Amino acid sequence: MNEDEKFFAWLDGELDPAAAAEMEAKVAADPALTRLAEQHRSLGAQLKGAFDPIVEAPVPEQLRTAVRPPAQVIDLVAARRVRSMPALAQWAAMAATLAVGVFVGTQVPRGGTAPVQVQGGKLYAAAALDQALDTELASTPTGDVRIGITYRDSAGEICRTFVAPAGSGVACNARGRWQMKGLFAAPEGQGGDYRMAAGMDPNLAALVDSTIAGEPLDATAEKAARDKGWR
Amino acid sequence: MDHSSPFEDQLASLLPRLRRFAHALSRDAADADDLTQATVERALRSRAQWEPGTKLDSWCYRIMRNLWIDTARAQSRKSAREAPEEEGLSVGEDPRPGIEAAVDLQRVMAAMSQLPDEQREVVALILVEGFGYREVSEMLGLPIGTVSSRLVRGRTALLAMVGEQ
C-alpha cells in the first residue's frame, strides 16, 4: 500500500490501530494533508447525501411486485426438455414442476390424458383444455376451463386466453392445433376459487400485450372465428 | 395470498439499498430501476445458488454489478454506433449549491458517470454503500490492493469534478 492508499485507508477506518495512529499524526502535522482529509470527508458526505434519499424513498410498485410475483411463470423450455421421457413420467414431472397437475383427474377421470402434450418440442393443448379452446365461447362457459379473450397475434394466428383451476395461459391455433404460448400457475391459495380472482394474471396480461395485433375479437367475431375453424 | 418465503422477505428488505447502488452505477433513474428489477429477477431465478448463512446483500450486489457490466457493455457498443452526443454536463457549475436532494443526486450521478466503470463501482460500494475494503474485494473478485488503488483514483477524480463546496 503506497502512502496515498494508506491515507485513504486511514480516512475509511481500514487501518489497524497502530498504523492509524501513525497516519493521524502525519496528517495533523501537515496542513495540506489536513485539508485533503477535510475535502474527502466532505466529498463522502456529499455522496451519501445525494444517494441516501433513495433508501428513504418508497420503492416503486413494479419492483415490489418483482420480488413477489403473483404467479409462478412456467418455463416452456424446461417443459420441452422432458419430452423424451415416457408419457407417464413426463406428465408426472410436469405436474410436479409446473403445478398444473390439478388438470389431471379432475378433468379427465378415465382417459388418463393430460391437458397438455409435448410434440416435436412444442406444447399443445389436449383433452378438456383442447376441447374448451376449440368450442367454448367467452360468454358461455361450460366446464372448469373458461375462455378469456380471443385475439389475433402478430403472426396472424388466433390466440385464446383461458383460466382453469390450476392456472391460466394462452394458446394460439397453429394449423388446427392449440399451441401453448404461456402457462401460469395460479398463486397458492387461489386454485380453488379462480372465478373470484380479480382480472387476468399480470404475467399472462403482459404476454398478451406483447403478442396481440390490434384489439381482441368481440363476441360476434369470436363466434365467427370459431365457425371458420379458428383460421 | 401470502406465499412469500424468508428469501423473498430478505430480498424485499434489500430493495432500497439495491436501488441506491443501481443509481450509483447507472446514468439515470430509469436505468437504475430497470437494473434493480433485472437483479431481483435474476436473484429469484438463481436462489438455489445462494448459500443460506452467507450474506444475501453481498450476493445481490454482485448480481447487480455483473448485470450492469453486461448492459454497460451493450450500451457502449450502441452509443459507439450512434453519434456520441455531448451531455452538456455542468458539473461544478451549479450556481445553487445545496438545493433539493434530486438536483444534488443528479449532479453527483453526472459526476459519477464520468468515472471509468471500474472506479465507479468501487466508489459506490465503499463510499455510498459503506462496505469494507475486504468485503468489496471478495464481492468483485479483486485483490484488495486493486480495490484500494481504484478507490483512490475514483475519489480523487470525483473531488476534482464535484469540488468541495
Interface of A with B in 181-210 (CB under 8 A): 187-190
CB count within 10 Å of CB A97 equals 16
Each residue's pLDDT tens digit, B12-65: 999 999 999 999 998 778 889 999 999 999 999 998 888 888 889 999 999 999
Which among A54, A64, A75 is the top mutation candidate for probing chain B, defined by the most B β-carbons within 10 Å of its own β-carbon? Answer: A54
Range(s) of the domain holding residue A138:
66-227
Nearest Cβ partner of A50 from B8, B17, B108? B108
C-beta separation of B83 from B151 below 8 A: no
Contacts of A190 in chain B (CB under 8 A): 1
Number of residues assigned to chain B: 165
Contacts of B23 in chain A (CB under 8 A): 51, 54
Residues A106 and A51 in one domain: no
Q: State the span(s) of chain B assigned CATH 1.10.10.10.
A: 96-165
The CA distance from B67 to the nearest CA of chain A, in Å, is: 16
Give the nearest chain A residue to B129 (CA atoms).
Answer: A48
Residues A91 and A186 in one domain: yes
Gap between the Cα atoms of B133 and A73, Å rounded: 39
C-beta separation of A125 from A133 below 8 A: yes
Gap between the Cα atoms of A166 and A101, Å rounded: 7
Give the nearest chain B residue to A191 (CA atoms).
Answer: B1
CB count within 10 Å of CB A121 equals 11
Residue B145 to residue A14, Cβ atoms within 8 A: no
Gap between the Cα atoms of B25 and B18, Å rounded: 11
Phi, psi of A135 (to 5 degrees): -115, -30
Each residue's pLDDT tens digit, B125-161: 999 999 999 999 999 999 999 999 999 999 999 999 8
List Cβ neighbours of A199 (8 Å cut-off, separation of 6 or more).
A205
CATH code of the domain occupying B96-165 = 1.10.10.10
C-beta separation of B54 from B64 below 8 A: no
For A157-161, the CB contacts below 8 A with 24+ separation are A158/A225, A158/A230, A158/A231, A159/A208, A159/A211, A159/A212, A160/A133, A161/A200, A161/A204, A161/A208
Identity of the residue numbered A93: A
Which among B5, B26, B148 is the top mutation candidate for probing chain A, defined by the most A β-carbons within 10 Å of its own β-carbon? Answer: B148
Residue for grid cell 469494507:
B132
Task: Name the domain count of chain A.
Answer: 2
C-beta separation of B125 from B112 below 8 A: no
Residues A85 and A176 in one domain: yes
Whether A61 maps to a domain, the answer reads no
Residue B155 to residue A187, Cβ atoms within 8 A: no
The CA distance from A99 to the nearest CA of chain B, in Å, is: 14
Categorize the per-residue pLDDT at A127 as very low, low, confident or very high, splitting at 50, 70 and 90: confident
Rounded to two decimals, what is the model's pTM?
Answer: 0.54
Q: Which CATH class is domain B1-85?
A: mainly alpha
> Could you give the dihedral angle defined by the CA atoms of residues B106, B121, B32 and B163, in that order, rounded to the nearest 10 degrees?
0
State the pLDDT at residue A211.
81
Gap between the Cα atoms of B105 and A42, Å rounded: 15
The CA distance from A64 to the nearest CA of chain B, in Å, is: 7
Each residue's pLDDT tens digit, A40-97: 999 999 898 888 888 988 899 889 988 886 654 554 544 444 444 444 444 444 444 4
